[in-house]
Amino acid sequence: MSETNNKANFPTSPESWWIRSTKVHKFPSLEDDMKVEVAIIGGGITGITTAYMLAKEGLQVALFEADSLFNGTTGHTTAKITSQHGLIYNELIQHFGEAKAKLYYQANQKAKEQMEDWIKAHDVQCHFQKADAFIYTNEDSYVDKIKTEADAYQKLGIEGGITKQIPIDLPYKKAILMKNQAHFHPLHYLAKMVEQLEKLGVKIYENAVALHMEDSDSPIIPFKSGKRVEANFVISTSHFPFHDSKGFFARLYPERSYVIAAKPEKPVVDGMYISAEQPTRSIRPVTIEGEEMLLFGGDGHKAGQGGNESEHYQALEKFAKEYFGVKEVAYRWSAQDLVTPDKVPYIGELSKGSNVFVATGFRKWGMTTSYVAAQLIRDLIIDQNNPYKDLYTPFRFKADPSIKKVLKESANVAVQLVGGKLEVPDKELKDIKAGEGAAIAIKGKRAGAYKNEKGQLFVVDTTCTHMGCEVNWNSGDKTWDCPCHGSRFTYKGEVLEGPAEKPLKILNRDT
Domain spans, the chain: 31-77+188-250+343-397, 398-511
Give the CA distances from residue 132 to residues 162, 166, 369, in Å, rounded to whole numbers and listed in that order.
13, 10, 19
Residue range 48-76: mean pLDDT, rounded: 95
- CA–CA gap between residue 384 and residue 363 (Å, rounded): 27
- CA–CA gap between residue 255 and residue 299 (Å, rounded): 10
Residues ≥6 apart with Cβ < 8 Å to 396: 342, 390
- CA–CA gap between residue 366 and residue 46 (Å, rounded): 8
CATH classification code of 398-511: 2.102.10.10
Neighbouring C-beta atoms of residue 446, cutoff 10 Å: 19
CATH classification code of 31-77+188-250+343-397: 3.50.50.60
Residues ≥6 apart with Cβ < 8 Å to 294: 261, 262, 263, 264, 268, 269, 283, 284, 285, 286, 320, 324, 326
pLDDT the model gives residue 432: 85
- pLDDT of 60 > 70? The answer is yes
Burial letters 93-124, b for 16+ CB under 10 A, else e: bebbeeeebbbbbbbbbbbbeebbebbeeeeb
pLDDT the model gives residue 500: 82
pLDDT the model gives residue 368: 98
- The burial class, CB within 10 Å (0-12 / 13-18 / 19+), for 165 is exposed
Of residues 247, 394, 266, 396, the one with CA closest to residue 325: 266
Give the CA distances from residue 466 to residues 82, 96, 103, 504, in Å, rounded to whole numbers and listed in that order.
34, 33, 36, 10
pLDDT the model gives residue 12: 55
pLDDT the model gives residue 436: 87
DSSP per residue over 386-406, as a string? Answer: -TTHHHH-TT---HHHHHHHH
Percent of the chain beyond pLDDT 90?
A: 62
- pLDDT of 121 > 60? The answer is yes
Of residues 395, 84, 80, 350, the one with CA closest to residue 92: 84
- pLDDT of 396 > 90? The answer is no
- pLDDT of 360 > 50? The answer is yes
pLDDT the model gives residue 239: 76
pLDDT the model gives residue 343: 93
DSSP-assigned beta bridge partners for residue 265: none
- CA–CA gap between residue 332 and residue 261 (Å, rounded): 6
Confidence of residue 7 (pLDDT cuts 50, 70, 90): very low
Of residues 428, 455, 432, the one with CA closest to residue 510: 428
Neighbouring C-beta atoms of residue 212, cutoff 10 Å: 14
Pairing of strands 174-183, 160-162: antiparallel
- CA–CA gap between residue 70 and residue 99 (Å, rounded): 35
- pLDDT of 238 > 90? The answer is no
Give the CA distances from residue 458 to residues 46, 448, 495, in Å, rounded to whole numbers and listed in that order.
35, 8, 15
- pLDDT of 415 > 70? The answer is no
Phi, psi of 210 (to 5 degrees): -80, 130
Confidence of residue 230 (pLDDT cuts 50, 70, 90): very high
DSSP per residue over 12-46, as a string? Answer: SS-B-HHHHT----------S-EEEEEEEE--SHH
Q: How is the beta sheet containing 457-460 ordered, strand by strand?
A: 436-442, 445-451, 457-460
Average pLDDT of every residue of the chain: 88
Give the CA distances from residue 46 to residues 57, 127, 175, 372, in Å, rounded to whole numbers and listed in that order.
17, 20, 31, 9
Diameter of the chain measured on Cα atoms = 66
What is the 8-class DSSP label of residue 470?
Answer: B
Give the CA distances from residue 82 to residues 71, 158, 370, in Å, rounded to whole numbers and listed in that order.
22, 12, 12
